[in-house]
């Protein structure tokens, strides 16, 4: 399908490069560390206390996935060629594989304005079970989100961060400087955000 598009050869082609993205999940550091703790007798007083057993606290890194998809939901591999004027989706998703809620997840994604133009009011979100594959994510029930930051408030927004006119910075959750509603991700669930862009 991609090669057929290339053969038509009208207009300029752009490459879908999936890179400029960051995730900040408070309490979920990017590196994974285990912490081993033990309560011990501080001394003093008339009673000697036995030390507690060892308590190990593990942290897990939550993976953030970014995909480009065509309008039918087919994933476009990184580096795919797309045509000027074509509309595609970008999809971001975070999978909480743990047994506890991941609190205050923050995602920031900067659109490459020289290559893509955001399609207004195209932000949507869905929550599906952890481990859902690409087809199951796409088949989720998608709920519209507003572009605006604040009321009617929800968990995502897109604003113009400067440079060429037009919105280009998507944030999800309480990102500093562009804070939406706090995003908490329940145990065993996967949150996806998607939006459409037109290839310049
Ligand atoms: Ca919003």
**Per-residue pLDDT at 33:** 54
Interval 55-64 mean pLDDT:
76
CA distances from 125 to 35, 102, 109, 142, 172 (A): 34, 17, 15, 5, 10
Say how far apart CA 184 and CA 137 lie, in whole Å. Answer: 18
Q: What is the pTM of this model?
A: 0.76
**Ligand 1 centre distance from Cα of residue 157 (Å):** 4
- Residue 47, pLDDT above cutoff 50: yes
Measured torsion, CA atoms of residues 160, 171, 89, 93, in degrees rounded to the nearest 10: 170
**Ligand 1 centre distance from Cα of residue 179 (Å):** 10
**Ligand 1 centre distance from Cα of residue 135 (Å):** 26
Interval 144-149 mean pLDDT:
96
Say how far apart CA 158 and CA 145 lie, in whole Å. Answer: 10
The domains of the chain, with CATH numbers, are 2-27+62-199 (2.60.40)
- Residue 12, pLDDT above cutoff 70: no
**Ligand 1 centre distance from Cα of residue 152 (Å):** 7
Contact criterion met (CB below 8 Å) for 74 and 58: no
**Per-residue pLDDT at 19:** 44
**Ligand 1 centre distance from Cα of residue 136 (Å):** 25
Say how far apart CA 118 and CA 126 lie, in whole Å. Answer: 20
**Ligand 1 centre distance from Cα of residue 121 (Å):** 9
Cβ partners under 8 Å of residue 17, min gap 6: 78, 79, 112
Confidence of residue 28 (pLDDT cuts 50, 70, 90): very low
**Ligand 1 centre distance from Cα of residue 38 (Å):** 44
**Per-residue pLDDT at 37:** 79
Cβ partners under 8 Å of residue 198, min gap 6: 85, 86, 87, 116, 117, 119
Interval 133-162 mean pLDDT:
93
- Residue 13, pLDDT above cutoff 80: no
pLDDT digits (tens, 9 = 90+) for 160-187: 999 889 999 999 999 999 999 999 999 9
**Ligand 1 centre distance from Cα of residue 181 (Å):** 8
């Amino acid at each position: 399908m991609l090669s057929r598009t290339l053969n038509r050869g009208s207009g300029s082609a752009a490459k879908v490069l999936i890179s400029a993205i960051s995730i900040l999940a408070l309490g979920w550091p990017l590196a994974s560390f285990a912490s081993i703790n033990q309560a011990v007798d501080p001394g003093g007083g008339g009673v000697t206390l036995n030390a507690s057993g060892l308590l190990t606290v593990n942290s897990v890194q939550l993976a953030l996935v970014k995909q480009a998809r065509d309008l039918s939901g087919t994933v476009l591999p990184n580096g795919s060629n797309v045509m000027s004027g074509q509309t595609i989706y970008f999809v971001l998703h975070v999978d909480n594989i743990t047994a506890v809620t991941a609190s205050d997840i923050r995602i920031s994604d900067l659109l490459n304005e020289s290559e893509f133009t955001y399609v207004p009011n195209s932000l949507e979100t869905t929550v599906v079970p952890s481990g859902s594959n690409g087809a199951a994510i796409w088949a989720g029930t998608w709920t519209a989100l507003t572009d605006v930051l604040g009321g009617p408030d929800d968990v995502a927004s897109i604003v113009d961060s400067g440079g060429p006119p037009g919105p280009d910075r998507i944030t999800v959750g309480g990102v500093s400087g562009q804070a939406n509603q706090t995003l908490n991700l329940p145990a065993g669930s996967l949150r996806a955000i998607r939006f459409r862009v037109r290839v310049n």
